[in-house]
Amino acid sequence: MSLTINEIFFKNVCVFSPKTYSDNRGYFFESWNKKSFNKLLDVNYDFVQDNHSISVKGTLRGLHYQFPNPQGKLVRVISGEIFDVIVDIRESSSTFSQWRGVNLSSDNMKQIWIPPGFAHGFLTLSSKAEVLYKTTDYWHKENEKTIIWNDKDISIDWPATKKVIISEKDQNGIIFKKAQYFK
């Protein structure tokens, strides 16, 4: 697996692209290789679960995290485009409460590695988007938390969209000041 780091957000959060091999038939790339991934990021993570979501344009999912069972996530888009957002919820971090966003699409083939300790969400920009993400811990419904997507203290600059589609759970997210944080 050959990877190129495009951007680094905070400590150990990075956006990267795989090396692609193209010819008249199309293209090929290795989307995941444990040894290469761990070596590139100087980490040692195992993924235990793959998730796949399909969202229509304007769907906003997040900001989700699990407490006390944090999940690291490796996120990529296989069809369409999203604006992917992370928020640092590690109290001891120098970037605590800060957010970053990146456009991920099937065209740019970028992936983002989000280590445990971050809230995560995305807004679908294309007519439909399919998102795949690997996680370092299993989903624990009883530990799932949601920070409200439009929290004034975080002030995420979401791309403009005519209509935002949000689940009831996400509409009822808590404000950042009342969230449970990681040490």
Q: Give tens-digit pLDDT for 94-123.
A: 999 999 999 999 999 999 999 999 999 999
Q: What is the CATH number of the domain that holds 140?
A: 2.60.120.10
Radius of gyration of the chain (CA): 16
Percent of the chain with pLDDT over 90: 77
Reply yes or no on whether the pLDDT at 57 is more than 90. yes
24 lies in some domain = no
Percent of the chain with pLDDT over 70: 99
**Average pLDDT, integer, range 141-166:** 96
Residue range 57-78: average pLDDT?
97
Task: Report residue 101 as tokens.
Answer: 């966003």
Residue 10 belongs to some domain of the structure: yes
The arithmetic mean of pLDDT across residues 38-48, rounded, is: 87
Contact 134, 50 (CB under 8 A): yes
pLDDT value of position 86: 98
Residue 60: alpha-carbon gap to chain centroid: 12
Q: Do the domain assignments include residue 183?
A: no
Confidence of residue 180 (pLDDT cuts 50, 70, 90): very high
For residue 1, name the pLDDT band (cuts at 50, 70, 90). Answer: low
Q: How many domains does the chain have?
A: 1
Active site residue 65: no
* Residue 159 belongs to a domain: yes
Among the listed residues 21, 45, 52, 64, the single catalytic one is 64
- With respect to residue 31, please indicate whether it lies within any of the assigned structural domains: no
Q: What is the 3-state secondary structure (H, E, C) of 64-123?
A: EEECCCCCCEEEEEEECEEEEEEEECECCCCCCCCEEEEEEECCCCCEEEECCCEEEEEE
Question: 32 pLDDT band (50/70/90 cuts)?
Answer: confident
Q: Which residues pair with 123 in a beta bridge?
A: 60, 83
Instruction: Tell whether the model's pLDDT for residue 63 goes beyond 60.
Output: yes
Query: 7: pLDDT confidence band, cut at 50, 70 and 90?
Result: confident
- What pLDDT does 42 receive? 83
Of 120, 133, 138, 140, the catalytic one is 133
For 139, the 3-state DSSP assignment is coil
Residue 25 covered by a domain: no
Neighbours of 155 (CB within 10 A): 9
Does residue 104 lie in a domain region? yes
Q: Active site includes 64?
A: yes
pLDDT band at 81 (very low <50, low <70, confident <90, very high): very high
Instruction: Give me the domain span that covers residue 107.
Output: 6-14+46-178
**Whole-structure pTM over 0.85, yes or no?**
yes
Residue 86 lies in a domain: yes
